[in-house]
Amino acid sequence: DQQVKQNSPSLSVQEGRISILNCDYTNSMFDYFLWYKKYPAEGPTFLISISSIKDKNEDGRFTVFLNKSAKHLSLHIVPSQPGDSAVYFCAASVMRNQGGKLIFGQGTELSVKP
Amino acid sequence: DTGVSQDPRHKITKRGQNVTFRCDPISEHNRLYWYRQTLGQGPEFLTYFQNEAQLEKSRLLSDRFSAERPKGSFSTLEIQRTEQGDSAMYLCASSLRSGTGGREQYFGPGTRLTVT
């Protein structure tokens, strides 16, 4: 079963506009969520994370929002830049009493056009 | 550069052969993870170590797969009698788990395995 889902395989945005990437999860035990960015032929690069006790975390152009009741999180990139073009993965983990393995979504390919 | 490194970056092997991959984590990190990624999917958890102890293995890790982290530093992942279905990107990640911190995992560049 897919515990973490990214239902949009791709997203195209104009440079300077906002990119919104979405992620849904089913396991209410998840208590930590992360976003990774991946370029071809490279490993995922950590972007931003959020604990389940928060509903928002911001780091520069990147903001992650968590809606626990809807089991939904989103990543906002403002303003979007061509260098942001990559595949974005959301991931979730249970840290309390487990090893913190990450469960990933399928990814959303973001294309930012100049 | 003090990031996670993996070797080799690419491996082509014939079905039935054994292969071994190496991962060197960030030096002070006590946790090391292996994941596998196939085309169009996110990485899938295989196994993880805390120091030298292997604490969890996914059911994806068949008995043909074995991983070690002998001195709590680098790790190896061996696949015996490779099958075409083993073709994937094998990713290693590390983290420094202490108290409430160290939840972020930092990934290496991966080893691309092709089984012909």
The answer to whether the Cα torsion of B2, B4, B10, B12 is positive or negative is: positive
Name the nearest CA neighbour of A73 among A26, A16, A18. Answer: A26
With bands split at pLDDT 50, 70 and 90, how would you rate the model's confidence at B100? Answer: low
Q: For residue range A44-97, what is the model confidence (pLDDT) as tens digits?
A: 999 999 999 999 999 999 999 999 999 999 999 999 999 999 999 999 998 766
Query: Does the pLDDT of residue B2 top 80, yes or no?
Result: no
Minimal CA separation from A45 to chain B, in Å: 7
| Alpha-carbon span A101 to B103, nearest angstrom | 9
Q: Give residue for tokens 């991959």.
A: B21
The reported pLDDT for the residue numbered B43 is 96
The reported pLDDT for the residue numbered A97 is 60
Taking the mean position of all CA atoms in its chain, how far away is CA A82? 18
Nearest residue of chain B to residue A4 (CA atoms): B42
Mean pLDDT of B22-42: 94
With bands split at pLDDT 50, 70 and 90, how would you rate the model's confidence at A109? Answer: very high
| Alpha-carbon span A99 to B102, nearest angstrom | 11
Q: Is B42 in Cβ contact with A91 (below 8 Å)?
A: yes
